Amino acid sequence: MITRHDWTREQIQALLDLPLFDLLWQAQEVHRSANPGYRVQLASLLSVKTGGCEEDCAYCPQSMFHSSDVTGQPDLAVEPVLDRARAARDAGAHRFCMGWAWREIRDGAPFDSMLAMVRGVRALGMEACVTAGMLTERQAERLAEAGLTAYNHNLDTSPEHYDRIISTRTYQERLETLARARAAGIGLCCGGIIGMGETPEDRAGLLQVLAQLDPHPESVPINALVAVPGTPLEDEPPVDPLEFVRMVATARIVLPHSRVRLSAGRQQLNREAQLLCLLAGADSIFYGDVLLTTGNPDVEADRALLACAGVNVAERTEVALPPC
C-alpha cells in the first residue's frame, strides 16, 4: 500500500463525493490491505487540567472566553491520575490519553507531574498520549525521555476555515508544535473536527494538510462537533452521520496506515452509523463514559457494539467481550 503525501485537494474532494458504496468499497480495500483484520484500539481519556484556558477555540467549553458551565478546576495529582489509568487498563484500554486545558506547556511543577504521569502510564504497559497545547523543543525532548507515545495536537480544520474558529493561535504555530514533537521522536496524534460550518472543500483541505505531513501522523482523531451551550458554535446543526462516515472513509484512503480514531460526537451516532465508521476503516474508539468534559457512550455499550460486529480489540488488550 503506497503512502502518498501529494494528494491534491480535488482528488480528496472527489473521494468525499463518491457514491457512498464506492467510497466504502475503496476504504475497505485500503484498510484490509494496510491494516489486516478489523481490530479496534480502545483509548481512555482523562482531563488532568480542566477549564480556564487562555485560547478562544470556538468549539471548546474549556475556553475562558466562553460562558459554558465548564470552569477552571484544580489540576489532578499524579497518583489519582495513575489510579484512573490502572482502572482504564483493567477495563481493557490499551492507550491512556491525558488532557491539559493550556495554551502551552510551561516548565515547573505541573510539567514535572505530567512527566511523572507519562512514566507511570508507560509502566502500566499502556501507550501514553498527552494533549496540552504548544511546547518547546526541550519540553518535547523531556516528554520523549519520559516515554511519551504520542502528542495530540489537532489542526482542527482547513487553513482557510481556521481563522473563523480560533484567533489566539495560528495554523502555522500548530504545524510548528507538531514538528517539534516529531523531531523529538514522539508519535503524532493529529486530526480535526467536522460540523463547524465548514464546506466540503474545507474537509478535503484538512485531510490534504494531514497527508502532507511526512511521515503521516500515526493517529488521526476525527471528531464531530459536540455543540456545547455557551460556546460560539452552540447552535451549529448536528453532523449528518453519513457525512461522518464519509470523512472517516476518506481519511482511511488518504492516510492508509494511520490509526483513525472515532472521537467526539459518537453519542450522536446510533449503533449502525458507528459500525459503518468501523467498516470504513476507523480502528480506534475513545472508551469510557466521558471524553474530557463531555459525554461518551458507556463502556458496556461499546463492548456490546464491538461484540455485535465480531470486531476484536487491538493486540495487547485481552477483554472478554459479552455475547451479542
Which is it for strands 127-131 and 150-152: parallel, antiparallel or unpaired? parallel
Cell triple for residue 32?
484490509
- Out of ligand SAM, ligand SF4, ligand DTB, none, what residue 225 binds, judged by CB under 5 to 8 A for its kind, is ligand SAM
Annotated catalytic residue, options 53, 84, 246, 252 = 53
Stretch that binds ligand SAM, among 38-46, 98-106, 138-146, 279-287 (CB under 6 A): 98-106
Instruction: Identify the helix (H) or strand (E) that includes residue 95.
Output: strand 95-100
> Distances from the Cα of 266 to the Cαs of 106, 231, 302, in angstroms?
33, 19, 10
Closer to ligand SAM by CB, 133 or 256: give it: 133
Query: Interface with ligand SAM includes 102 (CB under 6 A)?
Result: yes
User: Is 60 designated active site?
Assistant: yes
Query: Interface with ligand SAM includes 226 (CB under 6 A)?
Result: yes
| CB of residue 62 to ligand SF4, shortest distance in Å | 4
Calpha distance 163→160 (Å, rounded): 7
Closer to ligand SF4 by CB, 60 or 204: give it: 60
CA-closest candidate to residue 316, choices 96, 31, 110, 132: 96
Closer to ligand SAM by CB, 59 or 111: give it: 59
User: Is 324 designated active site?
Assistant: no
Contact of 255 with 13, CB cutoff 8 Å: no
Query: Interface with ligand SAM includes 59 (CB under 6 A)?
Result: yes
**Number of amino acids touching ligand SAM (CB under 6 A):** 19
- Out of ligand SF4, ligand DTB, ligand SAM, none, what residue 165 binds, judged by CB under 5 to 8 A for its kind, is none
Provide Rg for the chain, Cα atoms. 18
Closer to ligand DTB by CB, 31 or 153: give it: 153
231: which DSSP letter? S
Annotated catalytic residue, options 142, 169, 261, 266 = 261
| CB of residue 132 to ligand DTB, shortest distance in Å | 10
Return residues touching ligand DTB (CB under 6 A): 45, 61, 97, 99, 131, 152, 154, 191, 221, 223, 226, 263-264, 291-294
CB atoms within 10 A of CB 52: 14
User: Is 129 designated active site?
Assistant: yes
Instruction: Identify the helix (H) or strand (E) that includes residue 120.
Output: helix 109-123
- Residue at grid coordinates 475562558: 64
53: which strand partners?
63
- Out of ligand SF4, ligand SAM, ligand DTB, none, what residue 63 binds, judged by CB under 5 to 8 A for its kind, is ligand SF4
Contact of 260 with 220, CB cutoff 8 Å: yes
Calpha distance 229→304 (Å, rounded): 30
| CB of residue 276 to ligand SAM, shortest distance in Å | 20
- Out of ligand SAM, ligand SF4, ligand DTB, none, what residue 276 binds, judged by CB under 5 to 8 A for its kind, is none
3-class secondary structure, 105 = coil
Annotated catalytic residue, options 84, 89, 95, 97 = 97
Instruction: Identify the helix (H) or strand (E) that includes residue 161.
Output: helix 159-162
Q: What string of DSSP letters covers 280-315? A: TT--EEE-SSBSSSSB---HHHHHHHHHHHTPEEPT
Which residues contribute to the site for ligand SAM (CB under 6 A)?
53, 59-60, 99, 101-102, 131-133, 153-154, 156, 193, 223, 225-226, 228, 264, 292
Q: Catalytic residue numbers?
A: 53, 57, 60, 97, 129, 189, 261
